[in-house]
Amino acid sequence: ETFLTDRKTLAQLYIGSKITAMERIRTFDLLSRNFHVDLYTGSDTSVLPHIHNRGLAKTLTEMPIIFHESKININTTSRSIRSGLPLRIFDILGCGGFVLSNYQPELPELFTPGEELVTYSSPEELKELVAYYLEHDEERRQIAHNGFEKVKKYHTYTDRIQTILETVS
């Protein structure tokens, strides 16, 4: 079937969102117990006592600087995104930031994991990778640079619009 039934909609959107929120809390609790973690959110983070909640960041003026200046930007894809990549990955890479993302099957279609961004498959692996890349500045900076160059060369708005037009023709 190519349409969502009420049951599928409920499961995908509502339950998926709840599972994502729970996973993110566990993930950031683990990270914040081991590393200094700044989180930019308007959400209540009182259940994460080691998190440094910096509040909301302005999308056009503050977020690009945060993405660029942060040593590691974590992307945890929402469970409701069953296929495709979140725009956040392109946002971070387009600002020259280092992306550490959960693995999505479409990632290797557009990027080379380990060369333009880094992926993890479990919270424990994420923790190990954060520790590794905090200790390997030059490697981390090179991966961020490679990701920026890839986005600049192949993933501009012009490229995306061209792909859309080719797809619908």
Reported as type and span, the H/E element at residue 39 is strand 38-39
The pLDDT tens digits for 125-139 are: 999 999 999 999 999
Which residues have a Cβ under 8 Å from the Cβ of 67 and sit 6 or more positions away? 73, 91, 92, 95, 96, 97
User: Is 139 exposed, middle or buried, given 0-12, 13-18 or 19+ CB atoms closer than 10 A?
Assistant: middle
Q: Which two tokens stand for residue 114?
A: 């380990």
Q: Which two tokens stand for residue 24?
A: 């993110």
Is the pTM higher than 0.85? The answer reads: yes
The pLDDT tens digits for 144-155 are: 999 999 999 999
Q: Residues 30, 123: contact at Cβ < 8 Å? A: yes
